[in-house]
Amino acid sequence: MKITTPYYLIDEKKLLRNLQIIQTVRKLSGAKSVLALKCFSTWGVFDLMRQYMDGTTSSSLFEARLGFEKFGKETHAYCVGYSPEDIVDVVKFADKIIFNSISQLDRYYDSVKSAKIGLRINPGISYSHFDLADPARKYSRLGVADMVKLEKQRHRLSGLMFHYNCENDDVEAFSQQLDIIGDRYGHLLKELEWVSLGGGVYFTKAGYPVEEFSRKLANFASKYGVQVYLEPGESAITGCAELVTNVVDLVHNEMDIAIVDASVEGHMLDLLIYRLAAKMEGGDKGNYKYMVAGRSCLAGDVFGTFNFTDKLEIGSQIRLADAAGYTMVKKNWFNGLQMPTIAVRRLDNTIDVLRKFTYTDFTNSLS
């Protein structure tokens, strides 16, 4: 099937590889995994994902509703700051409601006490390569840090949530952090039903010691008598999608530059936010060097510099790898550029086009 570029192409076989690792961890450790919708919300592949995961976790009312309606199973609702209107609706969808602060818990407790209630904790430790994404950064607003105030809320809570990792692929670092969590909060956990260790643990990375990781989780759960939850986002979908583009122009300014029919700011925004280059399979092996740039007006709209095996021409296809996480959920209409189609290659190799975006979608996003 020929699809007009640009488009995101999700490969279910590559997705399945991650899901099978999640299932292995689930079986070996007893930990449950709920998909972090803030990273990936493309519900056209939820039929496959729900076979290997226990539900979803959210960062807003709309994500909570999406998880409830499109994924099913467990629906965890978290938000940095709920509004009164949010709470009225979120109780309709969530079986676990997690508050970011004691003030929010105080304000809404009577409205949600029929649900399982959790509180996000800021343990003062973290693993992150970026200050921007560090949950324990100085003056962080994310989670409760005061132990004395936390202990006074024990009677209201069924669980705690710790989210303190970002792309942590070091099992020893994870293990050391979990020991700290146990030492500091174990006396509370022994009185609760569940604990979420959040996301940001890269346990589906090739070569990651899954069995060691699972044993650590199982021992933690046994020691404190709690159901452990993980919230994989990137780990669930890493490496399973591409952003497929075509070259629309070739220019030269001290180096060769290929301009493609997509945009970093519009279609892979995290690269711009964290000042990262896109990935391309085999992008370091060829003899023809090009900067690949987007077609928005932003001067820094650059995917990266790559080496190609052949000279590029107008119409050459360029496939940018690892384009699932924090892409489709962040895509935007900057410059009014064509939004990429979303397609999926199913397990049987058939390709389904899940969504095409039109001028009407652009105008309806405005007023």
| HEC letters along 156-172 | HCCEEEECCECCECCHH
Distance CA 360, CA 155 (A): 51
pTM of the shown model? 0.95
Strand partners, 317: 246
The 10s digit of each residue's pLDDT in 70-123 is: 999 999 999 999 999 999 999 999 999 999 999 999 999 999 998 999 999 999
Closest CA to 234 of 266, 198, 258: 198
The 10s digit of each residue's pLDDT in 301-321 is: 999 999 999 999 999 999 999
The 10s digit of each residue's pLDDT in 29-62 is: 999 999 999 999 999 999 999 999 999 999 999 9
Closest CA to 221 of 199, 192, 243: 192
For 66-110, strand residue ranges (E) read 74-79, 96-99
The 10s digit of each residue's pLDDT in 111-154 is: 999 899 999 999 999 999 899 888 889 999 999 999 999 999 99
Tokens representing 187?
């006396």
Q: Which amino acid is at 85?
A: E
Distance CA 243, CA 103 (A): 42
Query: Which is it for strands 241-252 and 341-345: parallel, antiparallel or unpaired?
Result: unpaired
pLDDT at 363 over 90: yes
Distance CA 40, CA 140 (A): 24
Using DSSP, state whether 99 is helix, strand or coil: strand
Do the two domains 12-237 and 239-364 of this chain adopt the same fold? no
Distance CA 162, CA 266 (A): 31
Q: Determine the pLDDT at residue 291.
A: 98
Q: Determine the pLDDT at residue 349.
A: 97
Q: Determine the pLDDT at residue 352.
A: 97
Closest CA to 336 of 299, 292, 297, 278: 297
The 10s digit of each residue's pLDDT in 9-34 is: 999 999 999 999 999 999 999 999 99
Torsions phi, psi for 326 (to 5 deg):
55, 35
Q: Determine the pLDDT at residue 278.
A: 97
Tokens representing 293?
């740039």
Distance CA 322, CA 269 (A): 13
Q: Domain 239-364 maps to which CATH number in 3.30.70.520, 2.40.37.10, 3.40.50.300, 3.40.50.620? A: 2.40.37.10
User: Distance between terminal CA atoms of the chain?
Assistant: 35
Cβ neighbour number for residue 262 with a 10 Å cutoff: 31
The 10s digit of each residue's pLDDT in 222-277 is: 999 999 999 999 999 999 999 999 999 999 999 999 999 999 999 999 999 999 99
Ordered by start, the domain boundaries in the chain are 12-237, 239-364
CATH of segment(s) 12-237: 3.20.20.10
Q: Determine the pLDDT at residue 283.
A: 81
Cβ-contact 63, 41 below 8 angstroms = yes
The 10s digit of each residue's pLDDT in 287-298 is: 999 999 999 999
Query: Cα dist. 339→54, 295, 334 in Å?
Result: 31, 12, 10
Task: Note the residue count of the chain.
Answer: 367
Cβ-contact 302, 294 below 8 angstroms = yes
Cβ-contact 39, 330 below 8 angstroms = no
Q: Determine the pLDDT at residue 1.
A: 75
